[in-house]
Chain A
């Protein structure tokens, strides 16, 4: 069945470090791919998305490229800030439903 796998956390980085959170997916069709972010005590917010192969989604310095050949959608940011500390979820949309990865907790230290 359709599924999403993310790298396990927690990920701890120093401020201004480079961030990569790996995400791979399995899908029978051609899903749209999303990254959502959950700040402490809040609901999920859409961070970025890509709807077809080779699309790059970007927002707030984060970016991810839809790689069909490797079935991946890795999240990257060149220089993280303390305010980026949150849980990040990769998800695919198929049939109007979202399937989420297990989430990766990011902690950024000053």
Chain B
């Protein structure tokens, strides 16, 4: 079984809709992250959480919110989706010692 899972893997939604992307991990890591990937821009950090009670904004948090429901679960919400949020979204986890991050398979989101 995969260590970091994301659901859904693909989603098409309409402008103005609320959508939630979910991430679960079995690695036992404290730290979790949400990124978006756009062609030619690499990955940009949206939000990150170093433990269950810790939530921090990343580089591009506007239009997004997150919830850390448990050590193993970290969800990303788009309250009112817009077309420029069309992207590939990745969840990642890490421990606090090595700083190596482990990525999920990604969610391809299309906002029409």
Interface residues of A (CB under 8 A from B): 4, 32, 34, 36, 42-46, 49, 89, 93, 96-103
Contacts and interface: CB of A to CB of B under 8 A. Distances in A.
Nearest to B101: A98
7 contacts: A96-B50, A97-B45, A99-B45, A100-B42, A100-B44, A103-B40, A103-B42
Chain A: interface secondary structure? strand
Chain B: interface secondary structure? strand
Contacts, number: 51
Interface size class of B (residues with CB under 8 A): 20 to 34
A44 B103 contact: yes
Given A44-B90, A97-B58, A102 B103 contact: no
B100 A102 contact: no
B108 to A, nearest CB: 10
Nearest to B104: A43
A98 B43 CA distance: 9
B46 to A, nearest CB: 11
Interface string B28-48: 000101000000111111001
A34 B50 contact: no
Contacts of B33: 97-98
A34 B100 contact: yes
B43 A46 contact: no
